[in-house]
Amino acid sequence: MKAIFLIGTAGSGKTTFVKNFSEWIESKGVDVARINLDPGVVNLPYTADFDVRTYVSTEKLMRDLGLGPNSALTVASDLIAVKVHEISEEIETMGYEIAIVDTPGQIELFAFRPVGRVFSEHFLEGPRMVIYLFDYAIMLEPLSFLASLYLSISVYASLAIPQLNVINKVDIAEPRLVKRISEWYSNPLTLYEAINKSYRSEKLKLGQELSKTLPILSSLNKPIPVSAVTMEGFVEVYSQITRILGTGEEFAQEQAI
């Protein structure tokens, strides 16, 4: 079974993406398992085929160990890492083609703790990849744009598996702003010019220095603009998934209708 980990900052729309993207590829004949790896989530908009809360309860950890919410989530994440083989065996027996994994809302709990590295190396038997979800709303300024890229490359460095970058929420974005973000990514000169126009003093120096590494940061794929709500861009996303994971023939545009 192949695995796709959804990773992104809090509020980037991971859970909505898991729900709607899994339903979308199911409608194309793909068997999908929906996996919740967030031990602290309260409500899920989809029915999870596997829910890690059956293994680890943050509420129980808080009650039994006297922990606060953040400490309980951290301990829960470390406990989940220990159970990776047990969890994998349970999911493998379901017999699905692809598992889409909803990771914790706090990105650091999965991407930068042992649980992320353990799951990226040992989860299920098939190939694994990350879909990194950028939040369009926090990429509108040059420095925020660069900070988002640096965070995505940090996730890639930490987990060291193929990563597909996706910009979510374009349904609420003005087309000119989406185009501007794309231009910044494709042409470092336009970003450098925007930095010079937008900042002074320390922010200007910081932006100029950080922008010098854009060619390295853009060595990953150019982010695909999508909407987890309207499903815009899902064809392009799945086409890249088939390339990375080898899931079969890519969808043609007419198959998405």
Q: Per residue in 153-203, pLDDT tens? A: 899 999 999 999 999 999 988 888 888 998 898 888 899 999 999 999 999
pLDDT at 212: 85
Residues 6+ apart with CB under 8 A from 200: none
pLDDT at 228: 94
Backbone phi and psi for residue 59, each to the nearest 5 degrees, phi listed first = -65, -40
Task: Report the DSSP beta bridge partners of residue 5.
Answer: 101, 130
Full pLDDT tens readout for the chain, 257 residues: 999 999 998 889 999 999 999 999 999 999 999 999 998 888 899 999 999 999 888 888 998 899 998 899 999 999 999 999 999 999 999 999 999 999 988 899 899 999 999 999 999 989 999 999 999 888 999 999 999 988 998 999 999 999 999 999 999 888 888 889 988 988 888 999 999 999 999 999 999 998 888 776 665 678 899 999 999 999 999 999 999 998 654 444 333 33
Q: Which single residue is written with the structure tokens 């909505």?
A: 16
Cα→Cα distances 68→11, 42, 58, 75, Å: 22, 16, 9, 11
Cα(149)–Cα(66) distance, integer angstroms: 37
Backbone phi and psi for residue 34, each to the nearest 5 degrees, phi listed first = -100, 120
Q: Which domains does the chain have, with CATH numbers?
A: 2-136+159-169+222-251 (3.40.50.300)
What single DSSP character describes residue 113?
S
pLDDT at 250: 46
pLDDT at 254: 35
Cα→Cα distances 21→102, 122, 155, Å: 12, 24, 22
Residues 6+ apart with CB under 8 A from 205: none
Nearest Cα residue to 167 out of 138, 126, 205: 138
pLDDT at 230: 94
| E strands present in the chain | 2-8, 32-36, 50-51, 98-102, 128-135, 163-168, 224-225
Cα(206)–Cα(35) distance, integer angstroms: 40
CA atoms within 13 A on the CB side of 224: 21
Put residue 108 in one of left, alpha, beta given phi > 0 → left and psi -120 to 50 → alpha. alpha
Cα→Cα distances 116→17, 174, 189, Å: 20, 35, 35
Cα(216)–Cα(20) distance, integer angstroms: 32
pLDDT at 220: 62
CA dihedral 144, 43, 71, 18 (to 10 degrees): -50
